[in-house]
Structure 1
Amino acid sequence: MAVTAPYGFAINKTTTTGEDDTGSDSVYVYESEDPSPQLIHSLNIMSIVIFTLAFVLGVLGNGLVIWVTGFLMKKTVYTVWFLNLAVADFLFTAFLPMTVTYYALEHWPFGKFMCKINSAVRALNMYASVYILMVISIDRCVAVVFPVWFHNHRRVKKAFHVSLCVWALALILSIPHFVFRDTGPSFQKKDVIFCFNNFLYSDEFTEESFQLHLFRYHSLSVTRFLLSFAFPYPVIVSCYAVIIYRIRKNASLARRSSRTFKIIAAIIIIFSLCWAPFNILVLMEIVSFKLRNKQLLYIVNIGAPIVAGLPHINSCVNPLLYVVIGQEFKDRTFKSILKALQNAFRDEDAPLDSKRVVASQHDI
C-alpha cells in the first residue's frame, strides 16, 4: 500500500470498481505497470523529508515576512504585494503537517472536512500566488511604460482592493477542490481511510458513471491548467519582455529598478520552475487516459511524488530571496529579530526601552 502525492496523481492500480486504491484523483479502467513497492516507499520517504523541511522553513520564513511587511515597515504598494504572497505561502505550508502525517501513516486520520480544507488551501495558494505575481508584473510594466500616470494613480488603498479581488477569485476557483474532495476506506483494509477526489459521490460504478467521473476530472484538470498556467504566464512574460526592452533603452531607469526587478524576476522564475512540472505532469496523466498509454502512465506514477514536493519548495524559498536580494529587507529583518530577542530576554522589572523600530520609507 502506498499513499499518493497530495495533488492527486495516482501511484497504484485501481480496483475493479474503478476507484484508485490509494485515493488519488484518478480512475483507471486498464491495468498499468506499477513502480515497485520499494521504489514507492523510497519516494514517499523523500516526500516526507521535503514536506517537513518546507513546513519549518515556510512557516518561519513567511511568518517573518508577514511580521516585517505587515507590522514593521511602512505600507507601500510593494509591501502589500509581498505581504499577500507571504500569506498565501504561509497558509500553504501551515497545512503540511497533515500531509506529512498522511504519508507517514498511509492513512488519513483528520476527517472529511479537513480533507476538503487541505485540498482547497493548496488550490487557493496556487491561484492566489500566480495571480498576485501577474498583478505585480502588470504593476511593474505600467510603472515603466506610463511613469507619470503610474505615480499619479498608484495608491496603497488600491493595492489592498486589488489584493482582495485576487483572493476572492482564488477562493472561487478553489471551490471545486473543496466540493469534490472526499474520504473513504481502502478496499484492502477497511480501517484505513484515504483522502481523494470523488467526482461521483456514489458507490455505484457503471460505464456511464465512469465517463462522468472522467469528464469532471478532465474538466477540472484542464481548467486548472488554463487558469493557473496557460493564461497568467503569457501575461507575466509579456510584461517582463516590455520591461526589459524599456530598461535597455534607459540606463537611469535600469539603475532605479534594479533591486525590485531582480526580486520579482527571481520569484517568477522559481515559481515557474516549481509549478510547471506539476502542470505538465497533469497533462501527461490526462493524455495517458486518452491514449491508454501504459508507459506514459508509468512515468506519471514515478514523477508524481517528486513533482508534488516542488510547490512546497517554492512556498519556502521566497523569504530567502528577499534576504539575499533585498538589502533593505535584510537589514530590517535582522533589526527586527534583534529587537524581538531583546524584548524576550528583557528583565520585566526593568524600565521599558523608549526606542521603537522606525518604519522603512522605501519599497522592498
Structure 2
Amino acid sequence: MADAIALSSHTAITIKTIYAQLEYWAKKQYFLETIIILSIPTCIWGLIGNGVDFWLLCFTIKKTRFSVYILNLTAADLIVNIYYIMVFTSFLAPLHVNLYFSCVMEIIYLFGYNTSIYLVTAVAAERYLTVFFPVWYQRHRQKHLSIIVCAILWPLSCLVSLVAYISCYPRFLSSHNEERADCTAATIFEITVTFLVFQPILFFSTTALCIKMQREAKQSAPARLDITITILAVVFLIFAFTVRIVDAIAYWHQKLDAPVPFLLSLLFDCIKSSINPFIYLAVGCWTREKPIHKFLERALSDKAERTQVDQKQTEKYPEPQM
C-alpha cells in the first residue's frame, strides 16, 4: 500500500487516517487490504455493468414509466462507481489533483449516492400504486410522471448533497469544525429527508409488494418487475440505509466513528452501486425462452401470468409509456 496520498479527498484522506489508526491492530494491513481488494473489482464490474445497462436503456430498450427510473438510477450508480475507483486509485498510487476538482468530485458523489436512494424509493412507490390502486392510478397518472419525478429528485438530491457537504464533509480543511451549528442543522435535515420520508415509503411499498406476491404465488407467477423492485429495495435497505443509520448514530456517539464501520461502509457502498446490473441479469434470464440480450427488458416488464380480472383491467386501462 502506498503510504502517501496526494489526492485531497475526504474519503481518501479518511482511509489514510484510518490506516494510521489501525497501527495498534495486530493485522491492520490485512483488514484494510481486504476491504480494498474486495471494493476495487466490485466497482470495476459495477462500472462495466452499469455502462452496458445505460447504453441498452438509452438506445435499445423501449421507454416505459419504469425504464425511465432505472435509466436515471443507472446514471447515479455510474457516478458512485467512478468516484470510488478514483479514490482507491489515489490510495494505491499518488495522484496530484487540484483541491477544487476533488471537492467537486465529492459533491458529485454525494449527488449520485442520494439520488440512487430517492429513485429506488420512487420506483417502488409507483409500482405500489400500480398494483394496489390500478383503476385510480391509470385514470389520474400524468403522461410523463416518471420524467417529472426524476426531474424533481435530481435537484432535491443536489440540494441535500450541497448542504451536507458544505456544512460537514470537508474534514480535511483546517477551518472545518463538525460541532458547528450549521453542521448539526445539516445533519438533522439529511436524517429527516432520508429516514422520515424516503425510508418509510420504500419499506412500506416493498413490504406490501412482497405480501401480495406471496398471496398470489399459487394463482399466477409474479411479474418480473415486482421481483426486480423487491430485490433492489432489499439491497438498498441493507447496504445503503444501514450505513446511513451508523453514520447518523456516529455523529452524536463518537465511539461508533471508528475505522471498522467506516471501511465496511465503503464496501457496502461499492456493493450497492454495483449489484444492480447483476440483479437485472438474474431476473431477466430466469427463463431462456427469449434471446439473452433481452434480459434487461424482461427484468423491467410487468407482463406476467395474471388472473382474468387483472387482464381485463390492463385491457381497459393500457399502460402508459412514460
Tell whether the 8 Å contact from 1:137 to 1:236 is kept in structure 2 after alignment. Answer: yes
1:47 counterpart SS class: helix
**Aligned residue identity for 2:127:** R
Q: What's the CA shift for 1:103? A: 1.7
**Aligned residue identity for 1:150:** Y
Aligned to 1:262: 227
Tell whether the 8 Å contact from 1:76 to 1:156 is kept in structure 2 after alignment. Answer: no
- Give the whole-Å Cα distance in 2 for the aligned partners of 1:8 and 1:269: 31
- Out of 94, 110, 116, the position equivalent to 1:123 is 110
Aligned to 2:201: 235
Cα deviation per residue 1:122-155 (whole Å; 9 max; x = unaligned)?
2112211111111112111111221112233446
1:65 aligns with 2:53: yes
Tell whether the 8 Å contact from 2:164 to 2:187 is kept in structure 1 after alignment. Answer: no
Of Structure 1 and Structure 2, which has the larger fraction of its residues in helix?
2
TM-score norm. by structure 2 comes to 0.76
Change (3 A) 1:177 1:199: farther
1:305 aligns with 2:263: yes
- Out of 2, 7, 11, the position equivalent to 1:6 is 11
Tell whether the 8 Å contact from 1:92 to 1:315 is kept in structure 2 after alignment. Answer: yes
Structure with greater Cα Rg:
1
Change (3 A) 1:251 1:325: closer
Tell whether the 8 Å contact from 1:48 to 1:103 is kept in structure 2 after alignment. Answer: no
Q: What's the CA shift for 1:68? A: 1.2
Q: What's the CA shift for 1:315? A: 0.9
Question: Which aligned pairs between 1:1-364 and structure 2 lie closer than 5 A?
Answer: 6=11, 12=17, 35-36=23-24, 39-105=27-93, 109-154=96-141, 157-179=144-166, 196=171, 198=173, 200=175, 213-247=179-213, 255=220, 257-289=222-254, 296-297=255-256, 300-327=258-285, 334=293, 363=301
**Aligned residue identity for 1:326:** G
Q: CA RMSD in A?
A: 3.7
Q: Which runs of 5+ in 1 are unaligned?
A: 14-20, 23-32, 183-194, 202-209, 290-295, 337-358
**Aligned residue identity for 1:46:** T
Number of residue equivalences: 295
- Give the whole-Å Cα distance in 2 for the aligned partners of 1:42 and 1:246: 45
Cα deviation per residue 1:194-239 (whole Å; 9 max; x = unaligned)?
x7454846xxxxxxxx5x7444444434433332344311111222
Aligned-residue sequence identity (percent) comes to 16
- Give the whole-Å Cα distance in 2 for the aligned partners of 1:268 and 1:281: 19
Change (3 A) 1:258 1:131: same
- Give the whole-Å Cα distance in 2 for the aligned partners of 1:153 and 1:125: 30
Q: Which runs of 5+ in 2 are unaligned?
A: 303-322
- Give the whole-Å Cα distance in 2 for the aligned partners of 1:156 and 1:87: 23
**Aligned residue identity for 1:66:** F
- Give the whole-Å Cα distance in 2 for the aligned partners of 1:222 and 1:248: 37
TM-score norm. by structure 1 comes to 0.68
